[in-house]
Amino acid sequence: MHKGLFEDCEGPIRGLRLPLNAWNALDRENITTLAQLVAIADQVERLPGIGVKTALAIRTELDRIALLDARSA
């Protein structure tokens, strides 16, 4: 049975395509797994160092990998 990326995923986020300032902010907040990032995706712009554009980039990347996951199911 295929297990989707967003179903209990504890994997690292290091493979995501994100701008450097996003990586720096996520590192400062100790967000290291996809599950952690998905959990805060709707409020990610509240993190220090993440503005509107960076929040959009993060959400766009999460959407991209969700689409890839859906296609592989």
- pLDDT of res. 34: 92
User: pLDDT category, 72, cuts 50, 70, 90?
Assistant: confident
**Domain of 49, in residue numbers:** 20-72
pLDDT (tens digit, 9 = 90+) per residue, 4-60? 444 444 467 888 999 999 999 999 999 999 999 999 999 999 999 999 999 999 999
Domains of the chain: total: 1
* Residue 8 domain flag: no
Q: Does 51 fall in a domain? A: yes
Longest dimension (CA), the chain: 39
Per-residue buried b or exposed e for 51-73, using 16+ beta carbons within 10 Å of the residue's own CB: eeebbebbeebbeebeeebeeee
pLDDT at site 8: 41
Q: Give the predicted TM-score (pTM) of the model.
A: 0.80
